[in-house]
Amino acid sequence: MEIVVIIALVLGILFLNRPVTLLFQRLYTRHQFKRFTAAETFYHSVVSRHFKYYNRLSLEEQQKFLFRTYVFEHSKNFHYIEVERNAEMPILVSAAAVQLTFGLEKFKLSYFDDIFILRDDYHYGFYSRPFMGHVDQTGIYLSWDNFIKGISGETPNCNVGLHEMGHALAYVNFVTQTEEDKHFKAEFHNFSKVARPIFTAMQGGAKNFLGDYAATNYHEFWAVAIEMFFENAVQFRHELPDLYEAMIRVLNQDPLSFITSNRTIIRRMDPTAANRKKAMIQ
């Protein structure tokens, strides 16, 4: 008799575990959404002032964007190093991550509990050149002045927020495998079929729109491609159409799809992508 009870218990745990977890997640999400609605106006005012990307979304998409931003922000510990914190900072950093993953199902970059915001370029490890940001097993690091310049468009083709979130997205899917997005992982394989030959040619000295820094290694190629995809999509599609298409598929979104007959996007055109700031974006 006892063995029957034990087997029933084990089977119960096995079969009910997932539905119970899903139910709990749904209830928690509902609870978060309730709290979010009280803060939505503030989130909108912050994000709409800095993210052109956000302003081009439909109202429904904007709410999804803001809620994801809220959830992302509340899943992280933000640390401020030699920079005065304000309420907008974690929202804007979270919004950069949400922009990148907006076409994907998973967006929390789970594994990274800590995000470090530094004042400006900084030194790290044994590298002699200063960094604008980097990602390692301890967290995501961003320099605030470079981050703000990136989202305000002051530094054409350079957006350290998107760049570092790009590294983090690859990290949680392929290194720690702590937040695997099925679509992203499956499509990354196809992305690489197009991207690898371009990257290999660049390592052999070929020049293109992505600039020399993208040839450093495949991680940097990926992160720079993300910056260009969002910051200079028109030229990207013109110069490297196959790679642009592969980016659309892997991220499941197209920045140029926002262009409609009654909405004109004025883009910064800077053909000298190689003319990147000297500081390294690792």
95 or 281, CB closer to Zn ion? 281
Q: Report in angstroms how near the CB of residue 228 gets to Zn ion at its nearest.
A: 13
Q: ∠ CA 120-121-126 to the nearest 5 degrees?
A: 145
Q: Report the alpha-carbon distance of residue 202 to residue 211 in Å, rounded.
A: 9
Supply 50's token pair: 């800095």
Positions 194 through 233 that interact with Zn ion (CB under 5 A): 220, 223
73 or 220, CB closer to Zn ion? 220
Which residue's Cβ has the minimum distance to Zn ion? 223
Q: Report in angstroms how near the CB of residue 97 gets to Zn ion at its nearest.
A: 15
Q: Report in angstroms how near the CB of residue 282 gets to Zn ion at its nearest.
A: 5
Q: Report in angstroms how near the CB of residue 95 gets to Zn ion at its nearest.
A: 20
Size of the site for Zn ion (CB under 5 A): 4
46 or 281, CB closer to Zn ion? 281
Q: Of 189, 133, 194, 199, nearest to 166 (Cα)? A: 133
Residue ranges of the alpha helices (H) in the chain? 2-50, 52-55, 59-74, 88-100, 144-152, 160-170, 182-203, 218-231, 233-239, 241-251
225 or 250, CB closer to Zn ion? 225
Positions 222 through 281 that interact with Zn ion (CB under 5 A): 223, 281
Q: What are the angstrom distances between the C-alpha of 106 and each of 139, 167, 172, 184? A: 18, 15, 10, 9
**Interface contacts to Zn ion, rule CB under 5 A:** 220, 223, 281-282
